[in-house]
Structure 1
Amino acid sequence: MEEDITTELCVLQSHLDGILDRVYHNSLTLKRLQAFEMRLLGLNSLAEMIEFILGETKDLFDLDIVSLCLLDSKDDISTCLANDNYQFQTRAGLLLAKEEALFKQRFDFAHRPLLGIYHAENYGKFFDLQSPSPSSVILAPLIRRGKYLGSLNLGSYRPDRFICNMATDFIEHLASVLSVCLENILTFETMRRTSLVDPLTGVNNRRFLEQRIEEELDRSQRSRDPLSCLFLDIDFFKRINDGHGHQAGDHVLASVAGAIKKQLRSNDVLSRYGGEEFVALLSQSDQVRAGEIAERIRMAISALSIQFNQRDIPVTLSIGTATFLPMAGKIQVAEIAGQLIQTADAALYQAKHNGRNRVESGGSIDVAWIDKDC
């Protein structure tokens, strides 16, 4: 009898120890989750948030694979990340989905996490797998105000890590917090982008240029790569407004901006400077390269077929170029930024003076040249 009681007590003690271990483990997980949330709330950009989620979630839950699939039906996210020079196309674990149907097909029945054994036909689109496939997964929908933002997808090489009857309280809570943070930061990024984009042409505005040019000069100085500036102006734009009307002029501006942008790389910066003037910053481009790109743009615009109210509107561009050559030592970035634009503007004036529809080079500027000029 005493032996039976002793055995039962040992079993009960073992169960109690197991319960206490789980309580302790859950308490630690909760503390780590709270620390995770506090850091998440302090992030200032979408790129920072993506990096944090993909890196820290893996450590938080001791996972083998983590992916973040975001709905980007209007290319707002990709545009935002590109403007911040974030290499989203090659970031492992990040997927941008065009269609909301991807999430509706998986989550519309319960709006709750899906978990279980990994099947490529069901879950393959939620993972960017460059390594072995997970054995078990959990997919948590990111939903805010009834709309899908994306999903957080976790994978393990252990088949028993995520099973159908396990509790999902922690992951549901995390998904809710991520959804709120993601919505807030997307709203902020949209407002920021709107304030820095010219609404008529859809390219960056002068305010954006004034912020970005100093960043580009800093990058040029660190990498020792040249930075070139193009100053572009539509020839006889006043005649277009006077002869065809201001709506036609607006149409020309938007068409020309789109055509210029097609001739530039994704890491180049195009801004509407004012009126019919545009400025482009060409990273890693010397004087010769800048001239080639400027000539390519000029030819593309002169070949452009623009119509408004069934009337053809011929358009040409005059372009001035200038190139910054980095040197050793500290530089006065604001001073060089002004000189670079001023030199390209002077070359543009020369192109106008020499007959328009042409490219003129203002040459190269460097720190020593500026000091001497000053």
Structure 2
Amino acid sequence: MEEKRLKENRHLREQLDKLLKEARRNEQTQTSFDDFSLSVVAAQGPKELFDLILHDQKKFRIDEIRLCLVDRFHEVERLLTESYQNKYHGLSFIDTETSNLLISDIPDRPVLGTRIISKYDWLINIEETSKYKSAALLPLKRGDEIIGIQLLLSEDATRYNKSDGTTFLQKLGAMIAISIENCINRQRTLELGYQDGLTNAYNRRYFDERLKHEVDRCTRHKTDLVCLFIDVDFFKKINDLHGHQVGDAVLVRLVALMTEQVRSSDIVTRYGGEEFAIILPETGIQRAHEVAERIRSKVEAQKLIFDDSTLGITVSIGLASLSQIRLQKGSDTQ
């Protein structure tokens, strides 16, 4: 009888020890999650935020992470990535024009298991899918709107099972979604300080800062960069004859025409007055000449109508190439 009671006590102690260890693990996990949550919410910019989401989050026994954001108005990718010179590994964007059906197929709640790896590999661009044995898909929502998804991949088949609860993952997805939305809004606010109030082109301050970044990046990657400098011909005469309101309308229309002729990665800026500058990263002289001619001819063909009179405008365009400046500096030192 005594032996039986001792055996039961040992068994109870073992169970208690097991429960205590599990409780400590859960407490440590919760503490780590709380610390991670505070860091994500406090992230000051896109790079810090994506480093946390795509890299630091791996400390929760995650082998690989993919994050895909919905870019409904073709601005999210630009706002979150243009200030960073390298691509974020694991980050991608989709838009509603080409991927609306795919977006509508994203679930409202987290999904666990292995089937989602094959179902969403086309969306997240996963390589070597066979090495991952379990996964969790987290929809990122703000209100009723899906703003993205996160895929957590593990080589451990027991890491994510369909029978597991998803409350923790729901909280994680909600917290990440809030942080991403806050980051986008901060970038929008920051961008307002870099915009010309009349034309909505970037201003001279942004040109100076961005040019330095692009020169550093092109130097590091050994690629070329060209700047176009554009001046409206006889702009003072336009103001004198038609008034400043017409002159302002000319500048607004000119920016719209220039923006249509360049890539989304090119930077259109109002350099000052009727002078504009366009940064063309990773662009050689030949292509820059083609872009300049396209802008010149497009502007020349444009006829603006004001008070029943037709106004034609022309521009003069010059360019400067990073490679030519390097060559010139090299020859000067010889």
Deviations 1:147-195 (A, max 9, x none): 4432332233444432234233433333333233222211110111122
Answer yes or no: is 1:131 the counterpart of 2:128.
yes
Distance 1:261 1:296, change over 3 A: same
SS of 1:166's equivalent in the other structure is: coil
Q: How does 1:1-374 map to 2 (within 5 A)?
A: 1-2=1-2, 4-57=4-57, 59-86=58-85, 91-98=89-96, 105-108=105-108, 112-119=109-116, 123-124=120-121, 127-132=124-129, 134-144=132-142, 147-198=145-196, 200-219=198-217, 228-237=226-235, 249-283=247-281, 291=289, 293-304=291-302, 313-323=311-321, 366=329
Equivalent AA in structure 2 for residue 129 of structure 1: I
Distance 1:273 1:289 in 2: 22
Distance 1:158 1:305 in 2: 65
Distance 1:266 1:102, change over 3 A: closer
Structure 1 segments unaligned to the other structure (5+ residues): 328-363, 370-374
Equivalent AA in structure 1 for residue 56 of structure 2: E
Structure 2 segments unaligned to the other structure (5+ residues): none
Alignment check: 8 A CA contact 1:113 1:172 kept = yes
Equivalent AA in structure 1 for residue 60 of structure 2: F
Distance 2:297 2:186 in 1: 39
Per-residue deviation at 1:214?
3.5
Per-residue deviation at 1:132?
1.0
Per-residue deviation at 1:255?
3.8
Aligned-pair identity in percent equals 31
Distance 2:122 2:21 in 1: 37
Distance 1:190 1:230 in 2: 26
SS of 1:210's equivalent in the other structure is: helix
Name the counterpart of 1:336: none
Per-residue deviation at 1:19?
1.6
Cα-Cα RMSD: 3.9
Equivalent AA in structure 1 for residue 127 of structure 2: Q
Moved more, 183-192 or 210-219: 210-219
Distance 1:54 1:207, change over 3 A: same
Alignment check: 8 A CA contact 2:106 2:139 kept = no
Q: How does the TM-score come out when normalised to structure 2?
A: 0.77
Distance 2:204 2:141 in 1: 36
Q: Give the aligned length.
A: 329
Distance 1:223 1:135 in 2: 37
Equivalent AA in structure 2 for residue 114 of structure 1: V
Alignment check: 8 A CA contact 2:47 2:84 kept = no
Q: How does the TM-score come out when normalised to structure 1?
A: 0.70
Alignment check: 8 A CA contact 1:196 1:208 kept = yes
